[in-house]
Amino acid sequence: MLDPWLYLALTATAILTGFIDAIAGGGGLIMIPALLFAGVPPLNALATNKLQSMFGTGVAFGNFMRSGLVDWREHRGTIVAIFAGASIGVVLVQSISGGALKLIIPVLLLVNAIYVIVSPRMSDEDAHHRLAARGYVPVAGGIGFYDGFFGPGTGSFFATTLVALRGVGLTRATAQSKLFNLTSNIASVLVFALGGRMWWSLGLCMAAGAMTGGYLGSHTAMKFGARLIRPLLVLLSLALTARVLWSYFAG
């Protein structure tokens, strides 16, 4: 077990990651390395991160929903696909190496950052969609799979694809991404828990910090909209790309 001061340090870290996740996603960029540095084994770190993230994302989603930015009933099929994808991802990550995925992730994140920088669609205005709701379902399921398998950057993938493919304004896309991220987190927590990977006491302590950060971050996102979300998406995508590449080649 961890020293008591590490519980406090990781809970404080969860406030920051919950804030970041609520605005642009990518809190796992900070939280997973922090858990590993504290001495939590890799699979237990992935599992416990999902637990605290589920609570923080849930608070953020609740705030967005009460503001009328998202209605979960519009996305039933997408939710089912994400839940299934995340469940499969968690099962696989417990049995195979993620080396190949670690090479693909930087490419996806760089594309994500470039699109956010150059696209005129990254605003709060809704635009013509390129995919119908049903067409987006397999895309969302694939992102859900990635979240179950690894996770960091999932929120930014959801938000960016909602803007690019569904024509959703950036703030509303951020709100919808919280619903989708919450779904994948719930699926991941259930499967990790069944596999005995969860560190419950640590995860629940961190959840208190994540909920605080999620509350503050969601209100900040609604107040400032695309002019805050857009640069933060770029920054987090590039930072996560650098982090993953460094981890891969250093390892």
Please write the tens of the pLDDT for every residue from 9-34. 999 999 988 988 888 777 777 788 78
Task: Answer left, alpha or beta for residue 131, where phi above 0 means left and psi between -120 and 50 means alpha.
Answer: beta
Distance, CA of 48 to chain centre = 14
Token reading at 69: 């930015």
Residue 34 belongs to domain spanning:
4-250
Q: 125-129, 192-196, 232-236: which has the minimum mean pLDDT? A: 125-129
Whole-model pTM: value is 0.82
225 pLDDT band, cuts 50/70/90, is: low
Considering its fold, how many domains does the chain have in total? 1
Q: If you average pLDDT over every residue of the chain, what do you get?
A: 82
Burial code (b: 16+ CB inside 10 Å, e: under 16) for 120-147 equals ebbbbeeeeeebeeeebbebbbbbbbbb
**Predicted pLDDT of residue 93:** 79
pLDDT at 142: 94
Q: What is the mean pLDDT of residues 169-182?
A: 90
Of 139 and 249, which is predicted with more confidence?
A: 139
Handedness of CA 112, 23, 118, 242 (dihedral sign): negative
246 has pLDDT over 80 = no
Is residue 58 very low, low, confident or very high in pLDDT (cuts 50, 70, 90)? very high
